[in-house]
Amino acid sequence: MQAVNDRRGSVAPAIKGRTFQNAVEAWRKAIAPNLSPATVRQHESYLRAHILPKFKDEAPHTLTAGVLQQFATDLRATLSRKTVLNILSAIFSILRYAERCGILTAKVSFAELELGAANQRPERPFCTAEQAQQVISIAREPYKTLFTVAWLTGLRAGEILALKIPDLDFENRTIRVDESSDDHTRQLRQPKTQRSVAVLPMPKALQRTLESYLKNVWRPNPAGLLFPNPKGTCPMRRTNLVRCGLKPILRALGIPTHNVGLHWFRHGLATELAQRSIPLPDLQKQMRHADVRTTLRIYSHSIPGTQRAAMESVADSLTRNPIGTNVPIGTQPVTQDLPN
């Protein structure tokens, strides 16, 4: 029927209760609770900014390849290819669930859409080891301990805010990561990916910081959260701690704040480890990247210590024996008359 309607230039109107908005509401109730907070947050952002303003009252079966292609083309005027792919992925996720619920949908896949070449990815802001030390040294509690955890573990913001006292093993010096805080609902859910669930090493410096924090600053709360909100009823809100805890310190130190959040520490740690020539599998394990290509991108913009050492060795040899000077006897370049 979709093909017939397309040929004759008419499309059936949306059935009452079966608009794209209705499909979104059903997806929110049945599918979103089973996804990671980061994925839900991203989908909701795309729905609010791009998808619902365009398709809220449309019937799911009207979102054909032609409609989505024009939608994607319009978005590409201002957004990167990756962002448009993510927006379309959110639409397809909702349409797949709508179809399983018996709602008529158009049959469209990524293969039918042309999104153009990938844009050059802008460098994500990250801290250096010196900057991290400066920020931590002047931060007040609980930000001082929270920033130390961020720098010495590379945990994502939601994962830090979901940490509980039982997750800290001081005897074996490890930290267990198996939950993430949803900044929208303040509920604890599964982390970003299955690979995000892990047990990470607790460096001695972090152990000392945590023990001092628990002894002198931390107060018991019903959930046993390491970093609860002031009332102790739920995790701290990420946006508040960045706005009130991190950015005032960055401004005081003269460090740019544009696009900086708690991920600033995570990306900084990954870059520092890459520059210290940590093996790729170890870096991927510490950062818990689901896709090794994400880890490789870190190496691509970092210069490992081994590479620097090799180039310094070459440069030193040229300094000791500059080109064109002090050439040993018998190794002078041979010259000959060139033909006229």
pLDDT digits (tens, 9 = 90+) for 25-68: 999 999 998 887 778 888 999 999 999 999 999 999 999 999 99
pLDDT at 266 over 80: yes
pLDDT, tens digit, for every residue of 285-323?
A: 888 887 777 777 666 656 566 666 666 676 776 666 555
pLDDT at 245 over 80: yes
Q: Which tens digit of pLDDT belongs to each residue from 93-112?
A: 999 999 999 888 988 888 89
Strands 168-169 and 174-177: antiparallel
What is the mean predicted confidence (pLDDT) over 175-194?
83
CATH number for the segment(s) 129-301: 1.10.443.10
Question: Which pLDDT belongs to residue 135?
Answer: 96
Mean pLDDT of 208-212: 96
How many secondary structure helices (H) and strands (E) does the chain include? 16, 5
pLDDT cut 90: percent of the chain above it: 52
Query: Global pTM?
Result: 0.65
User: What mean pLDDT, rounded, does the chain reach?
Assistant: 84
Do 2-112 and 129-301 fold alike per CATH? Answer: no
pLDDT band at residue 283 under the 50/70/90 scheme: confident
The residue ranges of every structural domain in the chain are: 2-112, 129-301
- Across the range 187-202, mean pLDDT stands at 82
Dist. CA 4–CA 328, nearest whole Å: 86
Average pLDDT over residues 241-245: 93
Q: What is the pLDDT of residue 172?
A: 95
Q: How confident is the model at residue 338 (pLDDT cuts 50, 70, 90)?
A: very low
- Fold designation for 2-112: DNA polymerase; domain 1 (1.10.150)
CA 137/CA 266 separation, integer angstroms: 18
Confidence of residue 329 (pLDDT cuts 50, 70, 90): very low
The beta-strand segments (E) located in the chain are 168-169, 174-177, 180-181, 188-189, 198-201
Mean pLDDT of 128-139: 95
Distance, CA of 237 to CA of 257 (rounded, Å): 19
**Is 70 exceeded by the pLDDT of residue 122?**
no
Q: How far is CA 164 from the centre of its chain?
A: 22
pLDDT tens track for 142-164: 999 999 999 999 999 999 999 99
Radius of gyration over every alpha carbon of the chain, rounded to an integer in angstroms: 27
